[in-house]
Structure 1
Amino acid sequence: MREMPPSHPFDDDKLREECGVFGVTGVAEAANFVALGLHALQHRGQEAGGIVSYCPEEGFNSARRFGYVRDNFTKASLMGTLPGSIGIGHVRYSTAGSKGNTAIRDVQPFFGEFSMGGAAIAHNGNITNAAALRAELIDRGSIFQSSSDSECIIHLMARSLQRNIPERMKDALRRVEGAFSVVAMTRTKLIGVRDPLGVRPLVLGKIGDGWALSSETCALDIIGAEFVREIAPGEMVVISAEHGVESFRPFEPSPSRFCIFEHVYFSRPDSILGGRSVYETRRQIGVELAREAPVEADIVCPVPDSGTPAAIGFSHESGIPYGMGIIRNQYMGRTFIEPTEQIRNMGVRLKLNVNRALIAGKRVILVDDSVVRGTTSRKIKEMILDAGAKEVHFRIASPPTAWPCFYGVDTPEREKLLASHMTESEMRDYLAVDSLRFISLDGLYRAVGEAGGRDSTCPQYCDACFSGDYPVAPRDMIEKGFRLKAAE
């Protein structure tokens, strides 16, 4: 029986990035570096992880496990089975496939044996035409081993007539729609690719004589690698000892539409995105929010941990003191892997506790990164009032989340998103707070460095979860009945 991470029963009101990818080449014991990188990317996926490595004596070796990296890939007995100087890895939180009921065969990286040798791939994102591709491939004789959309890439590569694996990968990815950042490996090459819109992140690092590819720069830091640059939207890099880093452009050029929610929540605050500190961007979101939605209060409190930088910015701009009014229990851990119903009913109190001495008698501004279903926000409000607060004001560091994401983020169906059927004032009444304000979409764009705000004729980011403007039509979901904004 597999052991699942403990967070899900108590943190079901957040959008979750579904995975992170990491790879290294040209280093001794590459799998150990991959494990460290995945540990730094654990926030991107806590359900399962996998590593593939290669050495000439033993060929390709892999390990896939459920649970946290720290609990699986720190064991010498396991890491000793993954020798070699090249390796890739993946941490997963399922979006496509069987949510919450993942089989080990769904855990990446996926591996394929081709006539010119083996290749493994790890994919961050979501293929929006996966159902159509899967049906076509099965009709032509492909036998799928998983429920993951990512496996389509391996089968498309197998059907390509190109003579080497990078060219087969180009062929395959030209058939794919949606969002993808891929890290792949052959016996001698490390490969990284981003989709033409650059929706999901991918960065390049240098470590000694070797190289690393990662979803975020924070994973380069943990292995002591130097951040070199971001992989550009639509770019493929092929890294080998013979040729170093080679860059290719296999797709038609498109305007970049990087996921703006990476700035708001997904990425770690110590990462760099687009040349900007994620922490500084989130602090600036708080500054913009204070300018757009001022309110008289006594204290600004973050909803930990993701609301902290924005709360600091809000406090600085408003002049209202900052305080840790809510304390996070960092050690909930394994005690609650299988919580009883009585424990479940305690809800967020297992994870968060109010600092009563700081809150009592005060008008409190709570700064959070988002409101999804609203269930957690209501519980937090009740905790603050129970602690003796006079007033509770919510300030949200993102616009209302009114649309689901189909590009690699786990979101509820649209009808379960509070903002899909409620106005801001209706949400305020539903949450029963004294006031509720979200940052505007223009304000969010200003905070990430777009001084003129959002260009509605050509948005600079993917903001579909806020605007309903999908840069790539989610074909599979449309065929299942999903209605785009223009069709409403």
Structure 2
Amino acid sequence: MSSKLQEECGVFGIFNHPKAADLTYYGLHALQHRGQESAGIVVSDGERFNYHRGMGLVTQVFTRDILNQLNGTMAIGHVRYSTTGESLVRNAQPLVFKYREGDLAIAHNGNLVNANFERKILHEQGSIFQTTTDTEIIAHLLARSAKKHFEEAAPAVLQRIEGAFALLMMTEKKMIIALDPHGLRPLSLGKIGDSYVAASETCALDAVDARFWRDVEPGEWLLIDENGVQTGRFATQEKQSLCSFEFVYFARADSMIRGKSVLATRKELGQILAEEHPVEADIVIGVPESSIPAAIGYAEQSGVPYEIGLIKNPYVGRSFIEPTQELRELAVRLKLSAVRDILDGKRVVLVDDSIVRGTTSKRIVQLIRQAGAKEVHVRISSPMVKNPCFYGVDMPTKEELFASKVEEEQAMGHLIGADSLAFLSNEGLLKAVDVDMAEIPNRCIACFNGAYPTQLYLK
């Protein structure tokens, strides 16, 4: 398992476009950072589905020949990093089913917190599951709905599931887009002429030259068919609780989330971090890639020069699969190299976006010291991660979290080999990522403060 947090997946859909498969491919490529284990595309020509799914990156799963076979004008696609269910091709999405109205495809970003509860009920009613994902529960609930038609059954099913879900569902002729009542995951809409596009992030809209239309509202569903777009609500909007880690780490820096620039927000996180935790130093460096904007913000606010002290090799796979500690440490060296000419003899501020287990932070500090740094002061542009996430983020158990084992910054800094260590405060985070800084925050910070926005169904 990675020592960094991993988003579960990304979704992309398009309605009424002659190159639906190609545009979905490009959209998924732009969302590749949200999931690297599997990818899939389902296309409809109005009468039947054509689809392909596989394990690996988008460019590994789809060839030109495969895309040429995916004929149709409506498509949904998915990139996955598993948090529920094994990393197997049968769990790759979009999931495809046969039911009373024909074919059904579902692509889901998030986790259903009542999945085990609903799965038990469905098992008792005779349902036979083909996958181990919580997404399949949605299909079984649709199939068993007393509502006759897809567009009537879907809102009723959405009322029954709980947790985080940015959903794309389609039959041969219709597409439904929906977002959970808390808006825990991002989901944006765009247009290309008369075509409609939905994507987890606006960077995917940009990739296919779609014009941003608007964000899907929490508790909202949209039906798109030959008659156009119909909108409705399956639930009243709860207190909005968009995941704050989208701004800290998950989302691509060039995305806009609910009107806020991810890049500008990350720079602001670094600026606030410098205000809260200044230190005398010679240079500021960031851990590539997501921490670079925060490092630049820290440097701007503190007046300490920003330098490129770490170089990332983009062609190295994930280090957590290495079987021994020695090989894992070697893999970190292959991923990151320290620039001795920049670091030698310097007092260094190292800015990173988070500490989860602490193992990667320790190795990076060692790299910087071996490059000759005189002092290493670690600054984290998010608060301590003290609690697991249940909404679609691959996160260790509470017992495995570094901040759960060691709650004091000085002790944590000593364990990773830093001269000092400091985290952004919860208040500092909300100042940067919250839209209106209301008395009740409109961002989820449960992994930091333990205040989960939904019931969890842990037993």
**Fraction of identical pairs, as percent:** 48
Q: Does residue 160 in structure 1 map to residue 145 in structure 2?
A: yes
1:114 is displaced (CA, Å) by: 2.5
* Partner deviation per Cα, 1:56-113 (whole Å, 9 max, x = no partner): 46x112111000001222x122112211000001110000112xxx221111111222
1:5 matched residue in structure 2: none
Indicate conservation of the 8 Å contact 1:126/1:180, yes or no: yes
1:345 is displaced (CA, Å) by: 4.1
Instruction: Say if 1:338 and 1:282 are closer, same or farther in 2 by CA, change over 3 A.
Output: closer
One-letter code aligned to 2:447 = C
Structural mapping, 1:420-439, within 5 Å: 420-422=404-406, 423-439=408-424
Selected match of 2:64 from 76, 90, 101: 76
Indicate conservation of the 8 Å contact 1:48/1:91, yes or no: yes
Q: What's the secondary structure of 2:191's corresponding residue?
A: strand
Paired with 1:206 and 1:391, the residues of 2 have a C-alpha distance of: 51
Q: Does residue 13 in structure 1 map to residue 3 in structure 2?
A: yes
One-letter code aligned to 2:290 = S
Selected match of 1:355 from 323, 329, 339: 339
Indicate conservation of the 8 Å contact 1:445/1:451, yes or no: no
Paired with 1:357 and 1:375, the residues of 2 have a C-alpha distance of: 26
Indicate conservation of the 8 Å contact 2:248/2:382, yes or no: yes
1:463 matched residue in structure 2: 445
2:188 matched residue in structure 1: 203
2:22 matched residue in structure 1: 32
One-letter code aligned to 2:25 = A
Selected match of 2:127 from 115, 118, 142: 142
Structural mapping, 1:385-396, within 5 Å: 385-396=369-380
1:463 is displaced (CA, Å) by: 0.7
Structure 1 segments, 4+ long, off by >4 Å, are 336-343, 449-452
Q: Does residue 323 in structure 1 map to residue 307 in structure 2?
A: yes
Paired with 1:447 and 1:354, the residues of 2 have a C-alpha distance of: 30
TM-score in terms of structure 2 length: 0.96
One-letter code aligned to 2:191 = K
Selected match of 1:88 from 51, 63, 76: 76
One-letter code aligned to 1:81 = Q
Aligned residues: 457
Structural mapping, 1:270-309, within 5 Å: 270-309=254-293
Paired with 1:189 and 1:264, the residues of 2 have a C-alpha distance of: 35
Structural mapping, 1:30-429, within 5 Å: 30-56=20-46, 59-73=48-62, 75-98=63-86, 102-242=87-227, 244-332=228-316, 343-422=327-406, 423-429=408-414
One-letter code aligned to 2:374 = K
Indicate conservation of the 8 Å contact 2:270/2:294, yes or no: yes
1:339 is displaced (CA, Å) by: 6.2
Paired with 1:347 and 1:70, the residues of 2 have a C-alpha distance of: 23
Indicate conservation of the 8 Å contact 1:183/1:192, yes or no: yes
How large is the Cα RMSD of the aligned pairs? Answer: 1.7
Selected match of 1:441 from 426, 431, 434: 426
1:265 is displaced (CA, Å) by: 0.5
Paired with 1:166 and 1:154, the residues of 2 have a C-alpha distance of: 13
One-letter code aligned to 1:314 = Y
1:430 is displaced (CA, Å) by: 1.3
1:125 is displaced (CA, Å) by: 0.4
Q: What's the secondary structure of 1:346's corresponding residue?
A: helix
Indicate conservation of the 8 Å contact 1:111/1:121, yes or no: yes
Instruction: Say if 1:67 and 1:96 are closer, same or farther in 2 by CA, change over 3 A.
Output: same
Instruction: Say if 1:225 and 1:314 are closer, same or farther in 2 by CA, change over 3 A.
Output: same
Indicate conservation of the 8 Å contact 2:100/2:143, yes or no: no
Indicate conservation of the 8 Å contact 1:119/1:165, yes or no: no
Paired with 1:230 and 1:61, the residues of 2 have a C-alpha distance of: 28
Paired with 1:149 and 1:68, the residues of 2 have a C-alpha distance of: 22
What runs of 5+ residues in structure 1 fail to find an aligned partner? 1-7, 480-488
1:165 is displaced (CA, Å) by: 0.9
* Partner deviation per Cα, 1:142-183 (whole Å, 9 max, x = no partner): 110000011000000000011221221112121111111101
Q: What's the secondary structure of 1:39's corresponding residue?
A: helix
Paired with 2:174 and 2:140, the residues of 1 have a C-alpha distance of: 20
* Partner deviation per Cα, 1:124-157 (whole Å, 9 max, x = no partner): 0001111111111011011100000110000000
1:241 is displaced (CA, Å) by: 2.8
One-letter code aligned to 1:61 = N
Instruction: Say if 1:391 and 1:466 are closer, same or farther in 2 by CA, change over 3 A.
Output: same
One-letter code aligned to 1:459 = P
1:377 is displaced (CA, Å) by: 0.4
Indicate conservation of the 8 Å contact 1:237/1:245, yes or no: yes
Q: What's the secondary structure of 2:246's corresponding residue?
A: helix
Indicate conservation of the 8 Å contact 1:287/1:310, yes or no: yes
Indicate conservation of the 8 Å contact 2:366/2:417, yes or no: no
Paired with 2:142 and 2:445, the residues of 1 have a C-alpha distance of: 31
Q: What's the secondary structure of 1:127's corresponding residue?
A: coil
1:460 is displaced (CA, Å) by: 1.7
1:425 is displaced (CA, Å) by: 2.0
Indicate conservation of the 8 Å contact 2:433/2:443, yes or no: no
Paired with 1:340 and 1:449, the residues of 2 have a C-alpha distance of: 41
1:333 is displaced (CA, Å) by: 5.7
1:115 is displaced (CA, Å) by: 2.1
One-letter code aligned to 2:64 = A
1:275 is displaced (CA, Å) by: 0.5
Paired with 2:391 and 2:323, the residues of 1 have a C-alpha distance of: 34
What runs of 5+ residues in structure 2 fail to find an aligned partner? none
Paired with 1:37 and 1:31, the residues of 2 have a C-alpha distance of: 10
One-letter code aligned to 1:33 = L
